[in-house]
Amino acid sequence: MSTLSVLQYPHKGLREVAPLITVFDDGLRQKVKEMFDTMYQDNGVGLAATQVGLALRLYVMDASPHQNQPLCLINPEVIAAVGEVESEEGCLSFPGVYAKVIRAREVTVQYQDEYGNSHTLTADGLMANCIQHELDHLNGVLFIDHLSKLKRERLLKKLEKIKRVA
Ligand code: NI
């Protein structure tokens, strides 16, 4: 098993916009495998390529209760979004802090798998949340960007405290 190191906020790499993937080769599939290993090792629900310093428009996720339904979304695009829901989110780039974020309740996403085949998926609950959170990462957007200034400052203060203790 080979894992990657996850960039921690405020690393500048987290603000990069990931370019579209056009080559679906063994090298890409190896990176995907390493991203899954990293996500599972860190007990994450999702991990975007920008979080591990890779300029690739992809993320891996597994929102299943037993972490046995791996999903890799390449060049994802949300084509429909319904409703609104507020739920608590965390992020591997912000270990130990959580915040409530408002997102679409249900989304339909179009994406390619690691062989270049196209798929469409409609999801709600944790999966919908994760799809949106990770897609944000590919655009250099972080979950704290969705918070009010006051809540963001409070969360970042808490993060600093956690880092000092660690
Ligand atoms: Ni995240």
Convert the pLDDT of each residue in 32-89 to its tens digit: 999 999 999 999 999 999 999 999 999 999 999 999 999 999 999 999 999 999 999 9
Ligand 1 centroid to Cα of residue 19, in Å, is 18
**Ion ligand 1: protein residues whose beta carbon lies under 5 Å:** 91
User: Where along the chain do its domains lie?
Assistant: 12-165
Among 16, 88, 134, 160, which one carries the catalytic annotation? 134
- Rounded CA gap, 77 and 82, in Å? 15
- Which distant-in-sequence residues (6+ apart) come within 8 Å of 12 by Cβ? none
Q: Bridge-partner residues for 161, per DSSP?
A: none
| Amino acid present at 152 | R
Tokens of 1: 């098993």
- The answer to whether 84 is a known catalytic residue is no
Residue the block writes with tokens 């915040």? 99
Q: How far is the CA of 95 from the centre of ligand 1 (A)?
A: 10
Q: Is the pLDDT of residue 1 over 80?
A: no
- 35 with 4: CB under 8 angstroms? yes
Domain 12-165 has CATH 3.90.1300.10: no
Using DSSP, state whether 121 is helix, strand or coil: strand
The span from the CA of 29 to the CA of 71, in Å, is 13
